[in-house]
Copies of this chain bind each other. A is one copy, B any other.
Amino acid sequence: MADKAKRIFLTEDEMPKQWYNVRADMKIKPAPLIHPGTHEPLTVEQMSPIFCEELCKQELDNDTRYIDIPEEVLEFYKIFRPSPLIRAYQLEKELGTPAHIYYKFEGNNTSGSHKLNSAAAQVYYAKKQGLDSITTETGAGQWGTALAMASAFFHIPLTVYMVKCSYEQKPFRKSVIQSFGADIIPSPSDTTEVGRQILAKFPGTGGSLGCAISEAVEKATHTPNSRYVLGSVLNQVLLHQSIIGEEAYIQMEKAGEYPDIVIGCAGGGSNLGGIMSAFMRDKLTGKKDPEIIAVEPASCPSLTRGRFAYDFCDTGHVCPLGKMYTLGSEFMPSPSHAGGLRYHGMSPIVSQLYHDGYMRAVAVEQTKVFEAATLFARTETILPAPESSHAIRAAIDEALKCKETGEAKTILFNLTGTGYFDMTAYQAYHDGKMSDLIPTDEDLEKGFATIPNVE
């Protein structure tokens, strides 16, 4: 029976040809990025020395509801898209739940994550603008891998600044990025002024994402005809990731269902933003009212314990300020295994929607996340990334509630990545050596003290 299919595919012809800009339907728009010095909203002219021009326009466009995906980007998408929507029959059976659990699987590409959706777009626009090179930073490595793949495809040189401790802890990520032909430099490095300053001040430091961002921005702005690209948080990134939700929306229709609950993990917001936007459209336009759940790590709880305020996007304070839920740019999340969720802030779009009551947020503990990940692997056979496993945890919790109440709710979550490069984390879990790393109120207060006072 077709309606019993485990995997619901779309043909290439059925793949959406436009990104959906959720800002167009938001009654209260996300607050604009502001200049760190003047606190004035940034213009395209001010942003374009750092970012590609077309991306600056997308960043500031709160009005255009649908934006055509360029033909060349569609061609690239067809390598790994449309991605399957999968009914988790075995997980449902194992849980004994009446709930119908679906997941959108974005891990079927070498980057192992959804990051490729925005990487393809950003690299294409860089190429179209005639740039000679681009730069970026990477922490856990998914974004760096995705961008290296897209850069190889569109033939544009890429330099990746990888946080030094990750560079050393995850040599395989480095090798993958090199396999795609990108230059990779452990940060802090002596290739930039800011890197040399940090090295002089903190010899032997393992670096940080904030420092790597600062180096990548400096490298781009000090190299002729080069620009910097970023993999999350920004409005443009959520725009590109909307393809996930647009596909899932059609696939749920094919399955003859509509989700009562839509779940995504939330670090910078690109994951949740991607899966939710098509369903958020229904909420914003009053067509339907699915429950939307952001899942964050208890170790880095920006939505559930953070403040809604203008804050620096980076620890180095070289980037613009964004209004978002934040723990403070100097909050140092514990070294959890979900590197992709260890960010002090949150996408301004997700933040505004959360603030306005369009979604709820839950924080989950690391050990419970790996318990869910292992159960998922054994039943559904996919080994999930720690980040995505936060969404699995929440989906299982909702399905178990259904078991208690007897409700057959339809649950959709975003499975954005695979865990092949996270086996150290799995081993720590198997060996009983994993803890939950929940910050104390004092830890949070220290972070909040670093939030600037901006109206």
Contact = CB atoms under 8 A, between A and B. Distances in A.
Contacts of A13: 2
A356 B80 CA distance: 40
A80 B381 CA distance: 9
A426 B175 contact: yes
A90 interface: yes
A51 B220 CA distance: 62
A427 B171 contact: yes
A7 to B, nearest CB: 7
Contacts of A172: 420, 423-424
Contact of A383 (B6, B90, B171, B176): B176
A288 interface: no
Copies assembled: 2
Interface string A12-25: 11000000000000
Contact of A171 (B5, B109, B421, B423): B423
A79 to B, nearest CB: 5
A271 interface: no
B430 A178 contact: yes
A128 to B, nearest CB: 18
Contacts of A110: 377, 381-383, 418
Contacts of A6: 12, 78-79
A179 interface: yes
A427 B80 contact: no
Interface in A415-444: 418, 420-421, 423-424, 426-427, 430
Interface range, A side? 35 or more
Contacts of A378: 152-153, 179-181
Contact of A9 (B9, B152, B171): B9
Interface string A343-356: 00000000000000
A60 to B, nearest CB: 31
A423 B177 CA distance: 11
A11 B6 CA distance: 10
A17 to B, nearest CB: 15
A2 B78 CA distance: 13
A213 to B, nearest CB: 26
Contacts of A108: 108
Contacts of A80: 381
A382 B112 CA distance: 10
A185 to B, nearest CB: 15
A149 interface: yes
A53 interface: no
Nearest to A425: B175
A153 to B, nearest CB: 7
Interface string A373-416: 01001111111000000000000000000000000000000000
Contacts of A420: 112, 172, 176, 420-421
Given A172-B423, A175-B427, A181-B378, 15 more contacts: A5-B78, A6-B12, A6-B78, A9-B11, A80-B381, A90-B153, A109-B381, A110-B377, A110-B381, A110-B383, A175-B424, A179-B377, A179-B378, A180-B377, A180-B378
17 contacts: A5-B12, A5-B78, A6-B79, A9-B11, A79-B90, A110-B383, A112-B420, A149-B381, A152-B377, A152-B379, A172-B424, A175-B426, A175-B427, A175-B430, A176-B383, A179-B426, A179-B430
